[in-house]
Structure 1
Amino acid sequence: MRAASLARGQLSVVDLPTPRPGAGQLLVEVERCGICGSDLHCRLHADQLAETLELCGYPRYLRSEQSVVLGHEIYGRVVDHGPWSAGRIKPGTPVVSVPLVRRGRQVDGIGLSAHAPGGYAEYVVVQEALTLPVPNGLSPDLAVLTEPMAVAWHAVNRGEVTRKDVAIVLGCGPVGLAVVSVLKARGVATVIASDYSAGRRALAGKCGADIVVDPAVESPWEGALAGRGFMTTMPDEYNAGIDAVEGLARLPVPWWTAWSALEAVGATRPGRPVVFECVGVPGMIDGILASAPLHSRVIVVGVCMGPDTIRPALAVNKELDLRFAVGYTPLEFRKALHALADGTLGVSHLVTGRVGLAGVASAFAALADPEVHAKVLIDPSLGTDTILVG
């Protein structure tokens, strides 16, 4: 089979044996595979990522000297079953799959390890238990977005965002745009999106962002969040506490009794935005800690490749929640697929180009410019090395 392989930062089309599914696995003919931001990072930072994941107990992440077939956002059709499979998904069925494969108890990330070749190829092996038939005749170009939408679905869950919350998304690359889309699909009333790129800001508007900010012109903190009742300084909170005690002291019960009653029903809980950091460059987290209102909940979705520095005292004195998000559960993956299939999650505008295996290297280069593309899909059936726009 033909595949686009990465080695020492270079992508090339190679001929490889067609993989064979093992126990509990399926062989899938790839019809689409999305190019993910993590794939772009792998080309330049594979060894850094591998060293980090080794500290997390996974020593089999791809290394720069290895030849690895990338691709974990996969849509295709079942071709064959491995031994001892359940056989519940028939050959010819269009499917998407959580990109993990297991041999014994060893689990590898598809397209992120030399031990699990990915979807930049004509065929890929997936785990049957993690594979879902595509419902409602959902088009390949939308079904293949299940994986990145599941990442956003999980990030929103990590944020515990309610419909009444104000959410602010910093960075409108593919991950940020997916987060905006999921927030609006789940009914969040106010979503603010911020990005330096005019093209990405336009896409954020199409994804449903209520307010779109160019941070080169307007601070998302002092502009879009102004006047929403959030406390921005420590004296704000001190004054609010004194005002509350003085006001409650006028009641015919002790102020602490009244405060306790209000606290029991959540009336004393301070307002706060939920902030999604979707950039992943050094300085972003510390900048948020310095600028965000008191009590903000910060969800870090962007992956910073190198060391970073933060000032914990900022988070301590402002009582900020700092959470990190990666991946998703199988249930979140299924929910994202069905939200795409029933039209709740409308994201067709995110697909800005398609390319064959021969054009993967040029697609990587094009994706370096935020004004040109959002999501480029690989279609192994295309014989061209030119990115087809639209």
Structure 2
Amino acid sequence: MRSLEIHAPGDLRLVEKEPTAPGPGQVRLAVEYGGICGSDLGYWRTGVSGTAVMKRPFVLGHEISGRIEELGEGVTGLAVGQGVTVHPARTRSPLPEELVGRENLHPDLTYFGSAAQDPHTDGAFAQSLTVDADQIVPLPEGLSTRRAVLAEPLGVAMHAVTRAGDLTGKHVLVSGCGPVGLLVVLAARAAGAAHITAVDLAEAARERALALGADEALESTDGMDQRISVAFEASGAPASLDGILRSIARAAIVVQVGNLPPTPVSVTLGPVVSKELDYRGTYRFVAEIEQAVQLLASSEVAEQVISDEFALEDAQAAFEAAAGRGSSKVVLTFA
């Protein structure tokens, strides 16, 4: 089988490996689609994603979908040929009591395609993948594996919405309309937001936001509607956060979805005090991927988040497209 490894910034390699047979309690699946995430792009561009620094080659990817090929001994409730996605996180030790319900913050958590731990955790950009059966998330009837490749980033978006609290009847801002920002629009609407304002410099991104359910799409936060009481910063750009803090209404909630740089940034924090803002972080997700597949099954419009599709052998071109200003979610095909 072929897998996609990162060896250094800009150095992607297709590597031949033997598939791993499933052991007891495991499942082997044929990967059909893989979505390129901002973290994958970070390793490809600079060798860094957030606070994780690449020290040696590893397999990229954590957004995948496919079909079960083989069941290990003792696995029940799943079937060969079944469409699935995969929860990419694993823990091997008990969760500290103070983190109950927040498994995403486990200090020993590993995640597919991540350099956060050493040794690094190989990802899922491979034609064949063997995982523990409890990582498998079956797809609801009618959900294609192509659309299901969005389940992991939608889980991230849904967790961000959860961090914001009840959105029922709220006016919401989403700043940054890349793939996760677009999925935050989808998740916020599903959570009951009454009005959604999207902000992005790129016209194509604004158009996608409107297609995903935003009520309006603007170039900046200047003159923002003072009824907006919840904002999601989804670009990871300090200037975007600065604009939100300056423009958001008093007593608002601001959720930081986009990864900010691991170095000091310039942001005017005075409004956090003078407006008594509630600034919250959000990190990956807990079990929201299970709700994500249900939302995807009922939302055909979600597929508009996917802008480009490339065969695995064209991975370099796929990463270049994903890094371009006109793209949204770029996916690889593994068949």
TM over 0.5: yes
Which of 57, 60, 65 matches 1:67? 57
What secondary structure does 2:130 align onto? strand
- Structure 1 match to 2:229: 273
The answer to whether residue 126 in structure 2 is matched with residue 121 in structure 1 is yes
Which of 170, 174, 179 matches 2:175? 170
Aligned-partner Cα distance in 2 for 1:183–1:210: 12
- In structure 2, the CA distance between the partners of 1:13 and 1:290, relative to structure 1 (3 Å rule), is same
Aligned-partner Cα distance in 2 for 1:111–1:19: 17
The answer to whether residue 2 in structure 2 is matched with residue 2 in structure 1 is yes
**TM superposition shift of 1:311:** 4.3
The answer to whether residue 329 in structure 2 is matched with residue 340 in structure 1 is no
Aligned-partner Cα distance in 2 for 1:161–1:107: 28
Deviations 1:273-293 (A, max 9, x none): 100001102343333222222
**TM superposition shift of 1:344:** 4.3
Letter of the 2:182 counterpart: L
**TM superposition shift of 1:36:** 1.1
The answer to whether residue 98 in structure 2 is matched with residue 98 in structure 1 is no
Deviations 1:11-33 (A, max 9, x none): 12111221344553321110111
Q: Gaps spanning 5+ residues in structure 2: where?
A: 95-107
**TM superposition shift of 1:345:** 6.6
- Structure 1 match to 2:311: 356
Which of 107, 110, 114 matches 1:108? 110
- In structure 2, the CA distance between the partners of 1:47 and 1:198, relative to structure 1 (3 Å rule), is closer
Superposition map of 1:322-333 within 5 A: 322-330=279-287, 332-333=288-289
- In structure 2, the CA distance between the partners of 1:209 and 1:102, relative to structure 1 (3 Å rule), is same
Deviations 1:101-160 (A, max 9, x none): 456776421122565432221011223112121111311111111111111111111111
> Percent identity at matched positions?
32
Aligned-partner Cα distance in 2 for 1:141–1:285: 33
Equivalent residue pairs, number: 317
Letter of the 1:362 counterpart: A
Residues 181, 346 of structure 1: 8 Å contact kept = no
- Structure 1 match to 2:101: none
Letter of the 1:19 counterpart: T
The answer to whether residue 171 in structure 2 is matched with residue 214 in structure 1 is no
The answer to whether residue 303 in structure 2 is matched with residue 368 in structure 1 is no
What secondary structure does 2:168 align onto? coil
Residues 143, 337 of structure 1: 8 Å contact kept = yes
Residues 99, 126 of structure 1: 8 Å contact kept = no
Residues 165, 273 of structure 1: 8 Å contact kept = yes
Across the aligned residues of Structure 1 and Structure 2, the Cα RMSD in angstroms comes to 2.2
- Structure 2 match to 1:159: 164
Letter of the 1:205 counterpart: L
Deviations 1:289-335 (A, max 9, x none): 222221111000000123224444321111000001111122x2111
What secondary structure does 2:323 align onto? coil
| TM-score scaled by length of structure 1 | 0.76
**TM superposition shift of 1:38:** 1.6
**TM superposition shift of 1:91:** 2.0
The answer to whether residue 277 in structure 2 is matched with residue 320 in structure 1 is yes
- In structure 2, the CA distance between the partners of 1:102 and 1:154, relative to structure 1 (3 Å rule), is closer
- Considering only CA atoms, is the larger Rg found in Structure 1 or Structure 2? 1
| TM-score scaled by length of structure 2 | 0.87
What secondary structure does 2:301 align onto? coil
Letter of the 2:4 counterpart: A
Residues 354, 376 of structure 1: 8 Å contact kept = yes
- Structure 2 match to 1:386: none
Residues 182, 345 of structure 1: 8 Å contact kept = no
- In structure 2, the CA distance between the partners of 1:368 and 1:123, relative to structure 1 (3 Å rule), is same
Deviations 1:146-197 (A, max 9, x none): 1111111111111114221110011101111110111123331100001010
Aligned-partner Cα distance in 2 for 1:206–1:48: 30
Deviations 1:50-88 (A, max 9, x none): xx36xxxxxxxxx534221111111111122345x4332
Aligned-partner Cα distance in 2 for 1:66–1:22: 27
Residues 158, 325 of structure 1: 8 Å contact kept = yes
Deviations 1:333-376 (A, max 9, x none): 111111111x14731111122111111111111122222x2111
Aligned-partner Cα distance in 2 for 1:344–1:77: 21
